[in-house]
Amino acid sequence: MSQGAIERRGLMLVLSSPSGAGKTTISRELLARDGGLVLSVSATTRPMRPGETEGVDYVFMDQARFDEMVRDGAFLEHATVFGHCYGTPRGPVEAALDEGRDVLFDIDWQGAQQVAEEAREDLVSVFILPPSTEELERRLHTRAQDSDDVVRARMAKAADEMSHWAEYDYIVVNEDVEASVAAVRSILEAERLRRERRIGLHDFVEVLRRGS
Ligand code: 5GP
């Protein structure tokens, strides 16, 4: 029997990092290479950036709609980041987990803390660090989708964001995208084999023990 044939609960893979550490590229690569992983698309009140697509990068909404979803308990977690609201819609995550799929979250440390409070046993959290301050600054400027003011604000926030590194299960220093993607895939592969998630193991072993 293959590993995948034994029933297991889906896991929630949270990736956090300061802006510019390469998290978005790593997420995209993980999703492209792993058919069992689906992305949780967050809702946000921030304006759409050039190149972003509604419903793919985010579900963009006004403050009134966001507040309504908070009141309805429609978010698994939500937080204010850089003055805008972000939240993870609960429904699609629960549907994916029920199907035994794993869900990737690109959320900040506040979101990771809330997911840990709700479902610690299903959470695998990874914090991505840039290799140096210079490289972080360079990447933020190269991206150039934000104004200089926003880049400056994000550099200042990066120090705060990075202070939460010790709350995560795994730390990946993103020197090289390929190596970082490989590291996160190894984490995922090992976490999928954890005994606690493999709810079909009990029956599988019983059959082995009976010898039939
Ligand atoms: P950006 O506006 O650059 O796309 O994202 C800014 C920050 O918000 C990133 O650190 C990102 O991880 C975080 N973020 C995006 N979506 C969510 C969400 O649904 N919940 C939380 N807590 N943070 C989010």
Specify the pTM: 0.92
The answer to whether 54 and 48 are in contact (CB under 8 A) is yes
Domains of the chain: 3-40+101-210 (3.40.50.300)
The answer to whether 89 and 76 are in contact (CB under 8 A) is yes
Place of tokens 């889906």: 10
Pocket probe for ligand 1: among 14, 42, 140, the residue whose CB has the most ligand atoms within 8 Å is 42
The residue that leads in pLDDT, 189 or 145, is 189
Asked whether 122 lines ligand 1 (CB < 6 A), one says no
- Calpha distance 29→5 (Å, rounded): 25
- The predicted-structure confidence for 135-172, as pLDDT tens digits, reads as follows 988 888 776 566 778 778 778 889 899 999 999 999 99
Asked whether 21 lines ligand 1 (CB < 6 A), one says no
Task: Share the mean pLDDT of the chain.
Answer: 93
Asked whether 42 lines ligand 1 (CB < 6 A), one says yes
Q: Evaluate the CA torsion angle 167, 185, 77, 61 in order and state its sign.
A: positive
